[in-house]
Structure 1
């Protein structure tokens, strides 16, 4: 098999997108939507964190199952599944922080342990946590569960840094977004250093984009008295959906190249 043919086959078998600048733009928008959409269901509709978590958990299971059954990379399905992880991550983080009464530091600690456990189990079973290894149903489940915990951790981190109650650091939504944005810039600069693990940088960036989106989402829909712009959660969510759809249409979407030994 020629090199060109092998590359085509590897890309065709991959069901996750190539990590490009456009990937991160859509990811941040999806995480912001997860914050506004999750808050709309749990707060604006007054369903509560437990009911919201159960609703988004059902959506998560259905979409991940569809993603795993798919034969190739479908951008609409992939990003819908990402949105499901961000909304579920929002309600899970809020449930840990508030309903369990452990506060932001306790919620961050619990979710961090879950993320580390997910990555450790994935590595123990497969020998790698690289996205290039996402080529079998078992690895896909590891991938999506790890993404869910990373989204949940990002939400909890954003609330901890920006919030003033429940043990929060109280830096505010604008400064919180600036802190996480600067952290992503540092990760981007480290990407230029060949000796740093690309896999580690990917997961650091994936986690950091979530609190950036969380603080941006809170900035949009929280009351002015709390440092937000007090936009309607529903309208903010609709605008974000339109933006994400536009990005998927305009920005290049292609499957990532699967590792040859995956």
Structure 2
């Protein structure tokens, strides 16, 4: 009896470690997520333009850094704030670069890239659900589910970049009005979930997609010249402000452990 109890305890402990590889969805999660998306936009512009690396070289460097970070993320047996959020920052940059490469280097229209990335995201969700029967981030306790998770996140960033650029630039909505628009859409999703019981998983992923163009619009508004509708802080200043803020929040969460994912039951998975 003692042996069986010990084995069950060890199994539960291993499951909890795997589940804790993603953070709990708290207010800190959404704040850092928006900050990461802003950095994704401004950092890509900084490397491409200010450092004259060009889209192609920037894409190569950031993709390699992302793959290295994801290697350590997959290797970890528990949620590590520093590794996880570094992966999110890097995947936001790479997602931005994927969209920018298609539009700037290959001349693909933003309308087309928005539609294509929406389809690819839908396909990734379909494959994920067909394989695992859930899209809940609380159920990510296997390498395969984690792979689906990061693939979906990549497409959300690429889609958000294209949609944000389409709204702010091609449709001439402007950076700040675009931020208000996407912020309002997120508020609608929140109300739909809280008041009208919109499915939690669906609400999460809709909001996750919308935070990308929200963050990108904020980043463009802060960094772009005043003549182009921005505040003129530049990509260096904007990136530095947001990176320092992200670092401070990640250190805070590392110390306080306020975003650890609690163990979910089998029914929730």
* RMSD between aligned residues: 2.2
Conserved 8 A contact 1:220-1:228: yes
Between the aligned partners of 1:159 and 1:153, the Cα distance in structure 2 is 10
1:253, distance to aligned residue in structure 2 (A)? 3.5
1:242 pairs, out of 244, 249, 259, with 244
Q: TM-score, normalised by structure 1?
A: 0.91
Between the aligned partners of 2:103 and 2:16, the Cα distance in structure 1 is 40
Structure 2 partner of 1:124:
130
Structure 2 partner of 1:203:
205
1:80 pairs, out of 83, 86, 94, with 86
- CA deviations 1:96-118 (Å, max 9, x no partner) are 22222122101111211211111
Between the aligned partners of 2:18 and 2:107, the Cα distance in structure 1 is 44
Gaps of 5+ in 1: none
**1:128-207 pair list within 5 angstroms:** 128-163=134-169, 168-193=170-195, 195-207=197-209
- CA deviations 1:26-50 (Å, max 9, x no partner) are 1101111111111111122222222
Conserved 8 A contact 1:173-1:227: yes
Structure 2 partner of 1:113:
119
Between the aligned partners of 1:126 and 1:119, the Cα distance in structure 2 is 10
Conserved 8 A contact 1:111-1:152: yes
Tell which deviates more after alignment, 42-51 or 110-119: 42-51
Conserved 8 A contact 1:49-1:92: no
Task: Verify: 1:217 aligned to 2:219, yes or no.
Answer: yes
1:254 pairs, out of 245, 256, 259, with 259
Structure 2 residue matching 1:235: 3-state secondary structure: helix
Between the aligned partners of 1:258 and 1:221, the Cα distance in structure 2 is 41
1:8, distance to aligned residue in structure 2 (A)? 7.0
Q: TM-score, normalised by structure 2?
A: 0.89
Gaps of 5+ in 2: none
- CA deviations 1:143-200 (Å, max 9, x no partner) are 011101101111111111101xxxx111000100000111111111122146421111
1:9, distance to aligned residue in structure 2 (A)? 6.3
Conserved 8 A contact 2:99-2:161: yes
1:258, distance to aligned residue in structure 2 (A)? 4.5
Conserved 8 A contact 1:35-1:90: yes
Please tell me whether Structure 1 or Structure 2 has the larger radius of gyration of its CA atoms. Answer: 2
Structure 2 residue matching 1:191: 3-state secondary structure: helix
Task: Verify: 1:12 aligned to 2:17, yes or no.
Answer: yes
- CA deviations 1:1-44 (Å, max 9, x no partner) are 7xx99987654332000001111011101111111111111122
Conserved 8 A contact 2:15-2:141: no
Structure 2 partner of 1:98:
104
1:46 pairs, out of 46, 49, 52, with 52
Tell which deviates more after alignment, 110-119 or 208-217: 110-119
Task: Verify: 1:29 aligned to 2:35, yes or no.
Answer: yes
Shift of the 176–119 alpha-carbon distance from structure 1 to 2, 3 Å rule, reads same
